[in-house]
Amino acid sequence: MTGNQMEALIGMLVTFGLLVLMVLPSVIGIVHDKRVDRQLRRAQEDRSEGKEAREPQKSSSRSTVPSTATWYAEGRRSKKLVNS
């Protein structure tokens, strides 16, 4: 191998190395996103299977009345709106 051939080989290897360094983060990101998508899909499937197995929730026949704290907070909110 002559000096020119050796220099060309080193140049090609450096160029290839830089290309790999520039592409590697994108490839890692794509692989990570695919893994997260698979996990989300699996969790969604598990959740939908769980809903089918559960009995429907029974609703109460009593009407719901806001608590004292809710009434107090409503009054405070309306006063702030009027004052400003």
Domain that holds residue 30: 22-46
pLDDT value for 1: 83
Query: End-to-end distance of the chain based on CA atoms, in angstroms?
Result: 85
Reported pTM: 0.48
* 41, two tokens: 């899909």
* CA–CA dist 84, 80 (Å, integer): 6
DSSP line for 28-73: HHHHHHHHHHHHHHHHHHHHHHHHHHSPPPPPPSSPP---HHHHHH
In sequence order, the 6+-apart residues with CB closer than 8 A to the CB of 2 are none
Digit-coded pLDDT (tens) for 19-59: 999 999 999 999 999 999 999 999 999 888 877 666 566 66
Instruction: Examine residue 80 and state whether it is found in any structural domain, yes or no.
Output: no
pLDDT of residue 2: 92
What's the average model confidence in pLDDT over 57-66?
A: 64
- Residue 17 inside a domain? The answer is no
Any domain includes 29: yes
The number of folded domains in the chain is 1
- Which of 68 and 32 is assigned the larger pLDDT? 32
